[in-house]
């Protein structure tokens, strides 16, 4: 099966994750897809294929060399983001893209326009996979899985390519920050690994945000509005005051590169009780800690004005910047860079403005930088995937295994 057909098959599975189910995997579609993949792994010739009750798959491509070659791994995730529907995905290929706006859905007048998404123009003349505008595509991370599986199939079909033992790991629930929760690093038994979960062709990432999640609960008092003077306390208005007390321009829509932010992700409430949900992000650990202290400082000011326990902050760290772990083993970045160059890809080393399973795994003893899978506009109806980019991700995986064996 070629990589494009494989990708089309993968996106036919509905694998949207859900942080509210308290299950692993969080949705049944992920386990259905995992069972399919486990069988495919066996069919192409991988060994030690194991699927556990949490939806984690591990498999092995045994070494074909007697040399002492490090065991490495490649990791991708089953789920797609709950930010956009991933049900009944209808992908299609725009052959020899002409550089014009793409009408995704004539009935709903949904257009992928080049003014809003000028990055697509660099793929003029290439074949591009798009959606019908009603769902995301799922290149995050089914393009990564397709690249890994196709690379393993290629190595099995070309035994003259010398390589060491290669471990494959597929995780559930990465999109809701739980992908590494039940990943057994000791059992995986690799010296290092790469997640194939990045964006555009050439991306190579070993820096990510430090991340925390926050919920701020506001307590109010409801009284009939006709008799509310000096009695009513409207929790929604207090919550709004809290929002305005955070730095206005330290939000995702105003930041880039290494700039951190506070991101309000959800509001729910009434007069009696309101809850704000935030994520806090910063590449710099000191600034990250200051951001968390600032949240508590504003909560304290709210309580000084409206009374104790009017506002209560729940704060939980989610993951940290893997740079402090990867810097100790920079040869794994050099290897990936060399592999890209040998595959005809220009490496683009850049920080992730997000997170990855590899961040948590790096802190658990498995150094794990992130390599491109090829997609753009993840989590969106405007997601697209240049076919050549996915093919180059596959070639990069093969080259990494070759270079390690030679060195």
Supply the pLDDT for residue 379: 94
Whether residue 352 has pLDDT greater than 90: no
Supply the pLDDT for residue 353: 87
Supply the pLDDT for residue 120: 98
Supply the pLDDT for residue 54: 97
Whether residue 392 has pLDDT greater than 90: yes
Structure tokens at 394: 């596959």
Structural domains for the chain: 3-207+321-406 (3.40.630.10), 210-319 (3.30.70.360)
Confidence tier at 357 by pLDDT (50, 70, 90):
confident
Supply the pLDDT for residue 363: 94
Q: What is the CA radius of gyration of the chain?
A: 23
Query: How does strand 203-205 pair with strand 348-349?
Result: parallel
Mean pLDDT of 180-192: 96
Mean pLDDT of 15-27: 95
Mean pLDDT of 109-113: 97
Whether residue 130 has pLDDT greater than 90: yes
Whether residue 356 has pLDDT greater than 90: no
Whether residue 348 has pLDDT greater than 90: yes
Confidence tier at 222 by pLDDT (50, 70, 90):
very high
Whether residue 54 contacts residue 25, with contact meaning beta carbons closer than 8 Å, is answered with yes
Whether residue 4 has pLDDT greater than 90: yes
d(CA 264, CA 249): 13
Confidence tier at 354 by pLDDT (50, 70, 90):
confident
The DSSP string of 60-99 is EE----SS----EEEEEES-B-TTS--SS---EEETT--S
Q: Which of 60, 146, 115 is nearest to 382 (CA)?
A: 115
C-alpha 320, offset from chain centre = 15
| Per-residue exposure over 190-215, b if at least 16 CB sit within 10 Å of its own CB, e if not | bbbbbbbbbbbbbbbbbbbbbbbbbe
Q: What is the mean pLDDT of the chain?
A: 96
Active site residues: 79, 174
Percentage of the chain lying above the pLDDT 90 cut: 95
Confidence tier at 287 by pLDDT (50, 70, 90):
very high
Whether residue 355 has pLDDT greater than 90: no
Supply the pLDDT for residue 207: 94
Whether residue 276 contacts residue 216, with contact meaning beta carbons closer than 8 Å, is answered with yes
Whether residue 248 has pLDDT greater than 90: yes
At residue 151, the 3 state secondary structure works out as: helix
């Amino acid at each position: 099966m070629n990589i494009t057909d494989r990708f089309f098959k993968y996106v036919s599975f509905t694998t949207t994750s859900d942080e509210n189910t308290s299950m692993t995997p969080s949705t049944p579609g992920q386990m259905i897809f995992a069972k399919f993949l486990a069988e495919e792994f066996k069919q192409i010739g991988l060994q030690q294929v194991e699927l556990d009750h949490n939806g984690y798959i591990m498999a092995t491509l045994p070494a074909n060399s007697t040399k002492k070659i490090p065991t490495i791994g490649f990791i991708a995730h089953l789920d797609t983001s709950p930010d956009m529907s991933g049900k009944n995905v209808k992908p299609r290929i725009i052959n020899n893209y002409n550089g014009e706006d793409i009408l995704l859905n004539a009935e709903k007048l949904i257009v992928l326009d080049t003014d809003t998404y000028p990055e697509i123009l660099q793929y003029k003349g290439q074949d591009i996979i798009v959606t019908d505008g009603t769902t995301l595509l799922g290149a995050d991370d089914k393009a990564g899985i397709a690249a890994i599986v196709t690379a393993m199939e290629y190595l099995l079909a070309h035994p003259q390519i010398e390589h060491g033992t290669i471990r494959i790991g597929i995780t559930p629930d990465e999109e809701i920050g739980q992908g590494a929760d039940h990943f057994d690093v000791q059992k995986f038994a690799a010296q290092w690994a790469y997640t194939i979960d990045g964006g555009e062709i050439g991306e190579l990432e070993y820096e990510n945000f430090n991340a925390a999640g926050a919920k701020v609960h506001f307590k109010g008092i409801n009284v009939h509005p006709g008799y509310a003077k000096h009695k009513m306390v409207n929790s929604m208005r207090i919550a709004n005051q809290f929002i305005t007390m955070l730095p206005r321009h330290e939000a995702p829509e105003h930041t880039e590169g290494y700039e951190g932010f506070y991101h309000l992700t959800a509001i729910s409430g009434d007069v009696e009780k309101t809850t704000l949900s935030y994520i806090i992000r910063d590449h710099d650990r000191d600034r990250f800690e200051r951001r968390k202290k600032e949240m508590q400082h504003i909560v304290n000011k709210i309580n000084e004005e409206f009374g104790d326990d009017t506002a209560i902050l729940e704060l939980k760290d989610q993951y940290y910047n893997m740079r402090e772990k990867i810097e100790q083993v920079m040869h794994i970045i050099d290897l990936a860079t060399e592999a890209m160059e040998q595959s005809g890809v220009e490496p683009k080393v850049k920080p992730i403005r997000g997170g990855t399973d590899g961040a948590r795994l790096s802190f658990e003893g498995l150094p794990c930088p992130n390599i491109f899978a090829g997609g753009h506009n993840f989590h969106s109806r405007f997601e697209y995937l240049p076919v050549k980019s996915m093919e180059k991700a596959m070639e990069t995986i093969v080259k990494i295994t070759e270079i390690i064996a030679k060195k």
